[in-house]
Amino acid sequence: MNTYDLIMKKRNGAVLDKDEIEYIVDGFTKGTIPDYQMSAFLMAVYFQGMNAEETTNLTMAMADSGDRLDLSKINGCKVDKHSTGGVGDKTSLIVGPILASLGVPVAKMSGRGLGHTGGTIDKLEAIPGFSTSISEEAFINQVNTVGLSIVGQTANLAPADKKIYALRDVTATVDNISLIAASIMSKKLAAGADAIVLDVKVGTGAFMKELEDAKALANTMVSIGKLAGRDVTAVITDMNEPLGNNIGNVLEVAEAVDCLKGKGEERLMAVSKTLACHMLIKAGKANNENDALEMVNRVIDDGSAFAKMKEFVNAQGGDADALEDCSKLCVTKYSYKVTGKDLFDAASFNEDVGYLKSCDNQEVGMASLVLGGGRQTKEDVIDLSVGIILNKHLGDEIKAEDEVATLYANDEDKLKAATQRFVNAYVLDKEPCGKNPIVYEVI
Ligand code: URA
């Protein structure tokens, strides 16, 4: 077998067998296949696609490229969740404590932000003292005692994905269904949970822009899970605007705390509760969504979900008391209030009243990245304190004097550049317009 022949085979649209896919994944992980050949191979996959069998073989080869986490020492059914990535998506910080306070063990390995999308690990590191890298033994112990631990992926968990993802990121080969499905499912399979609930995002801020593509991605991941003997459900949710009010690391922690205290924004709560309900059903704690929803509402209302968040933060070395008043964590040197007039001017919109019709949500994510809240290169150090708080959502009426959002920054030039991107991201309409559904489908 040689790499050149396999690149040509895929480039010409032929189907690769299991051994051929393993040869590529193994060779690239070990460094015997160089970046330039792997880049060509990925581009061939991007244009020619992979069938279901090839995608499953790719996933398995990537899952087996490193260690598999052994969660057998954790009692009970371990249910994991994963989002395909979005803007303002802090649901793991909400769902984890809810599940743990209901007795479902959550042993979660999370990632950092990618491009315009945020990552749970960066968000958690915005809590003073919080450690996202603890030993495997401490991780397992914490899940057994507290019920929840969230850590960064260990270096040897699906290392093939780490290397392949870094290459996809710089070769315009991220948004391919087979490659995304294999990337996510290889990590999830290696991370050892019994059941997995996937949040597949669709819209302008997601990798999948169209509902049909999101459904295809969801179906692909569910069938890979089945073949691997895991119970997988996918929930397709809207990413045509940021999820919730806050974007940016510490701001998203603050919003997650609000949600756990029962003061969450409606659409964010709807996604978080839907995911939590499906996880409860998978764990055998609830028979149906109604029962599950009652349980979720109960632990939010009686304060036990927020108490669990504090216990979890404390167990990982974080300052749990700081969560009592997050405004002390959210401090930047500069801020700018975006008004309706700013949006009207950017869109040359000459009416007294407008409605937020749509937004390029990737651009909103990029505005947060430009503020310093995300990485332009892998080496960038992010500013955990910056971000955006939204006062308005799609479908809302806007007048010139209304406050639409506030941008927070520590650098005036970045604030100016981000504000420009933010105001240009929105489209206004003269006529009232409806809101997008928040949950499209459960697969
Ligand atoms: N998230 C992942 O982990 N991998 C992808 O390819 C896309 C989103």
Per the rule left: phi > 0, alpha: psi between -120 and 50, beta: everything else, 409 is: beta
Q: Ligand 1 mean position to 180 CA, how many Å?
A: 5
Report d(CA 149, CA 209) in Å as an integer: 32
pLDDT in tens, 340-398: 999 999 999 999 999 999 999 999 999 999 999 988 776 788 999 999 999 999 999 99
Q: For 396, phi and psi rounded to 5 degrees?
A: -75, 150
Q: Which of 80, 89, 122, 161 is catalytic?
A: 161
Cα gap 191→184, rounded to integer Å: 11
Model confidence at 217, in pLDDT bands (50, 70, 90)? very high
- Give pLDDT, residue 378: 66
- Give, using CA atoms, the residue closest to atom 5 of ligand 1: 180
Which has more pLDDT, 170 or 16?
16
Q: How far apart are CA 161 and CA 29, in angstroms?
A: 9
Compute, in angstroms, the gap from residue 119 CA to the centroid of ligand 1. Answer: 11
Going from the Cα of 417 to the center of ligand 1, the distance in angstroms, rounded, reads 28
**Of residues 367, 348, 361, the one with CA closest to residue 420:** 367
Share of the chain above pLDDT 70, in %: 100
- 440 φ, ψ (degrees, to nearest 5): -90, -40
Catalytic residue among 101, 149, 183, 272: 183
Tell me: pLDDT of 312 over 80: yes
Q: What is the pLDDT of residues 328-351, one digit of tens each?
A: 888 999 999 999 999 999 999 999
